[in-house]
Amino acid sequence: ENAKKNAPCIISIDEIDAVGRQRGAGLGGGNDEREQTLNQMLVEMDGFETNLGVIVVAATNRPDILDAALLRPGRFDRQVYVTLPDIRGREQILNVHMRKVPIGQDVNPGIIARGTPGMSGADLANLCNEAALMAARRNARTVEMQDFEKAKDKILMGPERKSMVMPEEERRNTAYHESGHALIGKLLPKCDPVHKVTIIPRGRALGVTMSLPAQDRYSYDRDYMLNQISMLFGGRIAEEVFMNQMTTGASNDFERATQIARDMVMRYGMTESLGPMVYAENEGEVFLGRSVTKTTNMSEQTMQKVDSEVRRIIDQQYALARSLIEEHSDKMHAMAKALLEWETIDGEQLDDIMAGKAPRPPKDWTPRTPSGGDGGGGGTPAVNTEAAPAAPTAA
């Protein structure tokens, strides 16, 4: 009514899915407040005359759950997809957010943009904010590239848990586990380049191997997905080969590897025996307007074929990863030794190890005295032994 009085006028509705969700999901009555609001809005939008001069713009992150009546011609009949920014978009967004903080001479927005694929505008604003906090913690006047690196690590891998005391046996196990991921990532051609490996506990993980794609990816090919499965198995295989044990640390790796293999068979038609067919069942949430009933279009025999095909993919990639790790055991030992000494190694140090050279020390590494476990340590600087699970001090 207000818009009609003030025409010509634009009404902007954010999060339209709050009132425009699909009706009649089979749960709850049809008399709730949200449905009445939606019905009233549909009636009003039908009544806009062509010369009224009222335009309605709405935004949502969930276009898939909107009611079909909302998207009919005359209502929200034009859709503009705002996707995540590409590398050029990220660089320009970073330039906007960097105006608010004093930036050092060595900061290059292009390099940061290349290392942040998949980040939205809000993520990049958060990155600049975290980098400013990192600079403030070391009492610096300007935000430098090292601050952006640390902020990126915190956002992508989780915050460091420096106070966590890990037994030496578990620390060695984590070092070999992460070295296994990194080695397979370096050896297989379609894996994303390994950016950083750390055995400092971050978030809920005891260690992290971070890979970053060389450029933005918009689709994945079969070899890439198979290489990903091999890389995920590298951690458990390294534990078996070098530590003669199995730990629970690989549970998430197995979940992701199994899901990739199952999607290859059931969704993407990437196997010869089952061919280009979709075998996945409808997996809609009832509360998002999906049907309560589930339909299964697979016979028992087909389900067994799917399971055996998933098993074949996983066994093949597991065997490939094991042969690579056993063949390059010298590089595994060198990687684990570097991790136990420095706790974090980057792509350049990994390249040194893969070339058979001694890895260069980290740029911000300073020798310290071994500490009893609180991550501190004072006294005369000395080379850190492998006995102390201390976290690296900030530069």
Instruction: Enumerate the β-bridge partners of residue 390.
Output: none
Among 54-63, 129-138, 319-328, 380-389, where is mean pLDDT lowest? 380-389
Task: Indicate if the pLDDT at residue 287 is higher than 80.
Answer: no
Q: Return the pLDDT at 31.
A: 62
Domains identified in the chain, total number: 3
CB 89 within 8 Å of CB 80: no
Task: Indicate if the pLDDT at residue 112 is higher than 60.
Answer: yes
Q: Which of 157, 187, 217 is the last residue of a domain?
A: 157
Sequence letter at residue 99: R
Q: Which of 157, 178, 199 is the last residue of a domain?
A: 157
Residue 163 counted as domain residue? no
Residue 77 counted as domain residue? no
Residue 259 CB: number of other CB atoms within 10 A?
Answer: 12
Q: What is the pLDDT of residues 367-380, one digit of tens each?
A: 544 443 333 333 33
Same domain, 138 and 185: no
Q: Return the pLDDT at 378.
A: 34
In whole angstroms, give the CA distance from residue 274 to residue 270.
8
Nearest 10 degrees: CA dihedral of 41, 47, 52, 57? 30
What's the whole-number mean pLDDT along residues 33-54? 76
Q: Which of 71-85, 161-175, 380-394 has the highest mean pLDDT?
A: 71-85
Q: Residues with Cβ < 8 Å from 364, sequence gap 6 or more?
A: 146, 392, 394, 395
Q: What is the pLDDT of residues 323-360, one digit of tens each?
A: 888 888 888 888 888 888 887 888 787 788 887 777 77
Pairing of strands 208-211, 344-346: unpaired
Same domain, 206 and 327: yes
Select from 48, 78, 57, 70 the least CA-distant residue to 10.
57
Same domain, 149 and 247: no
What's the whole-number mean pLDDT along residues 273-283? 75
Same domain, 239 and 189: yes
Q: Return the pLDDT at 391.
A: 37
Task: Indicate if the pLDDT at residue 178 is higher than 70.
Answer: yes
Residue 186 counted as domain residue? yes
Same domain, 184 and 333: yes
Residue 193 counted as domain residue? yes
Tokens of 62: 């969930």
What is the average pLDDT value for the chain, to the nearest integer?
Answer: 79
Task: Indicate if the pLDDT at residue 20 is higher than 70.
Answer: yes
Q: Residues with Cβ < 8 Å from 153, sequence gap 6 or more?
A: 196, 198, 202, 210
In whole angstroms, give the CA distance from residue 205 to residue 248.
11
Q: Given pLDDT bands bounded at 50, 70 and 90, which one contains residue 125?
A: very high
Residue 62, domain extent: 2-71
Same domain, 186 and 335: yes
Same domain, 202 and 173: yes
Task: Indicate if the pLDDT at residue 384 is higher than 50.
Answer: no
Residue 318 vs residues 7, 107, 121, 198, 251: alpha-carbon distances, Å: 66, 41, 38, 23, 15
Q: Which of 46, 71, 96 is the last residue of a domain?
A: 71
Same domain, 91 and 57: no
Q: Return the pLDDT at 377.
A: 35
CB 161 within 8 Å of CB 207: no
CA atoms within 13 A on the CB side of 45: 21
**CATH code for the domain in which residue 49 is found:** 3.40.50.300
Q: Return the pLDDT at 132.
A: 92
More confident residue, 333 or 361: 333
Tokens of 387: 């006995």
Same domain, 214 and 343: yes
Report, as residue numbers or ranges, the catalytic residues: 178
In whole angstroms, give the CA distance from residue 393 to residue 370.
12
Residue 147 CB: number of other CB atoms within 10 A?
Answer: 26
Task: Tell me the percentage of the chain whose pLDDT exceeds 90.
Answer: 8
Residue 134 counted as domain residue? yes
**CATH code for the domain in which residue 111 is found:** 1.10.8.60
Same domain, 174 and 315: yes
Same domain, 112 and 183: no
Residue 88 CB: number of other CB atoms within 10 A?
Answer: 10
Residue 237 counted as domain residue? yes
Residue 392 counted as domain residue? no
Q: Return the pLDDT at 359.
A: 74
**CATH code for the domain in which residue 316 is found:** 1.20.58.760
Residue 359 counted as domain residue? no
Q: Return the pLDDT at 22.
A: 78
Same domain, 207 and 302: yes
In terms of Cβ atoms closer than 10 Å to its own Cβ (0-12, 13-18, 19+), residue 129 is: middle
